[in-house]
Structure 1
Amino acid sequence: MTNDTPRTVIAQGTFDLLHPGHVHYLEEAAAMGDELYVIVARQSNVDHKEAPICSAAQRRDVVNALEVVDDALLGHEEDIFVPIERIDPDVIALGHDQHHDGAAIEDELERRGIDCTVERASGRESTREDELLSTRLIIDRILDRRG
């Protein structure tokens, strides 16, 4: 007997000033399953780096426009696990450089009764000298050229 239930993957992040590194992460996350949901962080949840330039709704809409994304939604303002509980994924895909502790996420998933694995996507090297794979580097270039 085969299981026809689609394998659901969640990716999450800030996705401010979308760049090829983001696209690489989301393509790898999509390859981990059949459906890719992306949770876009609200500004109130971004406390590990500078506040996003673009609004959460704009960042969600741009991510949602990518072909590999089945649906993009805004994260919950108080409890980041609320959309995860609602979607009930098979996999949570972390970006290669995201600050999240995979083991701590797995512990919280288990505590909440969510049966899924946590996998980390690979990084991507620049393929061209002028390619920027970081929002910070894009902002630095803008300030350098236009500041």
Structure 2
Amino acid sequence: MRRVVAQGTFDLIHPGHVHYLEDAAAMGDELHVIVARRENVTHKDPPILPNRQRRDVVAALDAVDHARVGHPTDIFAPIEEIEPAVIALGYDQHHDADAIEAELAERGVDCEVRRASPREQQYEGELLSTGTIVDRILEQRG
């Protein structure tokens, strides 16, 4: 069984998220998704939706076999438990693949780190980022 791990904030699911998770699922036989805890999101504004709600929405997607909220203090702890063959990063996620590979090697976790492919806009006006969706909501209803 080839396990794949994908991770992210997944606040306001959009077609870009669905593409990322479908692409990640295609890298193996079983997709495990780790949803970032609100308190651990430091590279951007914290998510609007609670941890459990974001996890539940991700778990409802067809491509996802298992979804969980990340560890409170050690983002690599779930990866050690899952023992994936692949960690799939979103094509535009801020993560440093080399740093992840180095930490995995330090912990004795043998898995590949790959980037998912980008999802191009399929029609004019399609929104493929949570930030863009939030900006549009504020613009039109704020």
Matched, 1:81 2:76: yes
Residue in 1 that maps onto 2:86 = 91
Q: Distance in 2 between matches of 1:126 and 1:139?
A: 18
Matched, 1:139 2:138: no
Q: Distance in 2 between matches of 1:96 and 1:124?
A: 9
Matched, 1:16 2:21: no
> Equivalences for 1:95-134 in 2 at 5 Å?
95-134=90-129
- Greater Rg over alpha carbons, structure: 1
Q: Distance in 2 between matches of 1:44 and 1:145?
A: 29
Structure 2 counterpart SS, 1:79: coil
Residue in 2 that maps onto 1:45 = 40
Count how many residue pairs are aligned between Structure 1 and Structure 2.
142
Residue in 2 that maps onto 1:3 = none
**In structure 1, what residue type is equivalent to 2:53?**
Q
Deviations 1:57-92 (A, max 9, x none): 100000000011001000011100000000000000
Please give the TM-score of this superposition, normalised by the length of structure 1.
Answer: 0.95
**In structure 1, what residue type is equivalent to 2:52?**
A
Q: Distance in 2 between matches of 1:128 and 1:39?
A: 30
Structure 2 counterpart SS, 1:69: coil
Please give the TM-score of this superposition, normalised by the length of structure 2.
Answer: 0.98
Matched, 1:58 2:65: no
- RMSD of equivalent CA atoms: 0.6
Q: Distance in 2 between matches of 1:136 and 1:69?
A: 23
Q: Distance in 2 between matches of 1:27 and 1:45?
A: 25
Shift, 1:130, TM fit: 2.2
**In structure 1, what residue type is equivalent to 2:8?**
G
Between 1:32-41 and 1:118-127, the stretch displaced more is 118-127
Q: Distance in 1 between matches of 2:14 and 2:59?
A: 14
Q: Percent identity?
A: 68
Matched, 1:26 2:57: no
